[in-house]
């Protein structure tokens, strides 16, 4: 993967995190249809195809998945936020 492709994937995942965090701040706890569509578009740009529906999933769990994808992209072991947060 070229540096440019790597950077574009990272930007797409960063945008997913931003979208999810904005949804949480807005009081949402689950991914709805429009949010799922937006996330799916950004995940496709990152070269990731969602292997299951995003709609209906808890936002905090989807955030964990995106953090794990970022860790993979950076060549790091993914950290489970649930362990850190105690939930």
pLDDT digits (tens, 9 = 90+) for 8-53: 889 999 999 999 999 999 999 999 999 999 999 998 888 887 767 8
What is the per-residue pLDDT across 57-86, written as a single tens digit (0 to 9) for each?
Answer: 999 999 999 999 889 888 876 665 544 455
Domain count, the chain: 1
Residue 70 counted as domain residue: yes
Residue 24 counted as domain residue: yes
Task: Tell me phi and psi for residue 81, to 5 degrees.
Answer: -60, -30
55 has a pLDDT exceeding 80: yes
Helix extents (H) in the chain:
3-25, 33-45, 59-74, 81-85
Q: Which of 76, 77, 62 is closest to 29 using CA atoms?
A: 62
Residue 19 counted as domain residue: yes
Residue 17 counted as domain residue: yes
Residue 86 counted as domain residue: no
Residue 87 counted as domain residue: no
Residue 35 counted as domain residue: yes
10 Å CB burial of residue 62 (0-12, 13-18, 19+) is buried
**Residue 59 belongs to domain spanning:** 3-77
């Amino acid at each position: 993967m070229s540096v440019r492709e790597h950077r574009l994937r990272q930007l797409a995942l960063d945008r997913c995190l931003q979208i999810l965090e904005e949804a949480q701040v807005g009081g949402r706890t689950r991914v709805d249809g429009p949010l799922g569509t937006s996330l799916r578009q950004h995940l496709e740009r990152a070269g990731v195809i969602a292997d299951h529906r995003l709609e209906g999933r808890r936002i905090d769990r989807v955030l964990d998945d995106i953090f794990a994808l970022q860790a993979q992209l950076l060549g790091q072991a993914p950290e489970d936020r649930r362990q850190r947060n105690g939930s």
